[in-house]
Structure 1
Amino acid sequence: MTLRDIFEAVSGQPTLLFLLLTAVPSGAFLVNLWSGETADQIWKWRYVYSVLVYLACIPGIFAITLDIYLFLFERQSVWEMNLALQALPVFTMAITLILIRRKIPFNYIPGSGNISNFLILVAALMSLLWIVDRTRIFAIAYVPFTYVVVGFVALLLIIRFAWKRII
């Protein structure tokens, strides 16, 4: 079974996909109602918010990465975009994060920094792969592979440091 087969199977059940993806922002809305108004009441729900953030961000980040790959590397047309698989997860991620942000700052949610670090890593990796794909540089060198790995890790650290300085 390939990833294309999985996407075709999921696309065959758009109602189920829609229900699963809208359950997360609906859950965030309900938790916002139930968590109360005082800081102590909201603080007790921070792990539930953490689960909701992860449930929203994992499919959303995957969909963003898939969109970038399809548009930059595969040169897919916007007109051929599968809205259920490529746009709906990003939309539900945005709605969920907006709902949660209204109630509690992301600094207080456990593990929310890990998601932003993961997003930076994915963006840096996709950018590096796109640059390598577009420059068409083919080099045969006697450079040990460890130097290449060290250079890549250094590039990721520089990008992460720059991202944290920007934000």
Structure 2
Amino acid sequence: MTLQQLFQRIGDNPNFLLFYFLVIPLAAIMAGILGKNEGHLSPWKYLYSALIYLVSVPGIFAVALNAYFFLFQRGDVMQTDVYLQILPVIVMLVTIFLIRRNVDLSLVPGFDKISGLWFMLFSTMFLMWLLEKIHIVVFSYLPFQYLIGVFIILFALIYLGWRRFVK
């Protein structure tokens, strides 16, 4: 099964996907009501962590898919799949907003890891887009080991910059 076939099957029968993306924000709302001002305590912070990961993984995948589709494939905006390209991002943002109302996100276990993943993914996509725009011909006169060195240095700079930004 290809990714396109999977997307087609989900588009043909989106009930499970809609249920999944409806239950997670509702769980965040219920946790906010039941655990008012207790979001930093042990059972609630782990629930919030699970909810953030449950929406962030599909949301990050949708953003990466959108970036690939629009930046590299030069896709048409009118052909955007609402269930797979828009809904995960909206639900991710809404869920994180709902959770943030009850708890400081720095107290949620693993949130620093997922935000680091967001940053690394978006910076990598930006670098890929930048390299695609300037064409790799510019680097063709460099030996291959220098090109690898440039990528490692860029990756290290992005990593170090992110670590300093977070702290």
Same fold by TM-score greater than 0.5? yes
Amino acid at match of 1:114: K
Whether 1:20 aligns to 2:20 is: yes
Q: What residue number does 1:114 align with?
A: 113
Q: What residue number does 2:68 align with?
A: 69
**2:28/2:95 contact within 8 Å kept:** yes
- Structure-1 separation of matches of 2:101 and 2:36: 13
Structure 1 residue runs without a partner (length 5+): none
Residue 156 of structure 1: how far off its partner (Å) = 2.1
- Structure-1 separation of matches of 2:107 and 2:68: 33
User: TM-score, normalising length from structure 2?
Assistant: 0.88
Residue 140 of structure 1: how far off its partner (Å) = 5.6
Residue 142 of structure 1: how far off its partner (Å) = 3.4
Residue 137 of structure 1: how far off its partner (Å) = 2.4
Whether 1:142 aligns to 2:140 is: no
Amino acid at match of 1:110: P
- Structure-1 separation of matches of 2:10 and 2:104: 34
Amino acid at match of 1:59: P
Q: How many corresponding residue pairs?
A: 163
Residue 152 of structure 1: how far off its partner (Å) = 2.1
User: TM-score, normalising length from structure 1?
Assistant: 0.88
Amino acid at match of 1:53: I
Q: What pairs with 1:13-162 in structure 2 (closer than 5 Å)?
A: 13-37=13-37, 39=38, 42-44=40-42, 45-138=44-137, 139=140, 141-144=142-145, 147-162=146-161
Q: What residue number does 1:3 align with?
A: 3
- String of CA shifts for 1:33-57, please: whole Å, max 9, x gaps: 22143x4x74121111100110011
- Structure-2 separation of matches of 1:54 and 1:140: 43
Secondary structure, in 3 states, of the residue corresponding to 2:115? helix
Structure 2 residue runs without a partner (length 5+): none
- Structure-2 separation of matches of 1:47 and 1:31: 11
Computed over aligned residues only, the root mean square deviation of the Cα atoms, in angstroms, reads 1.9
Amino acid at match of 2:31: V
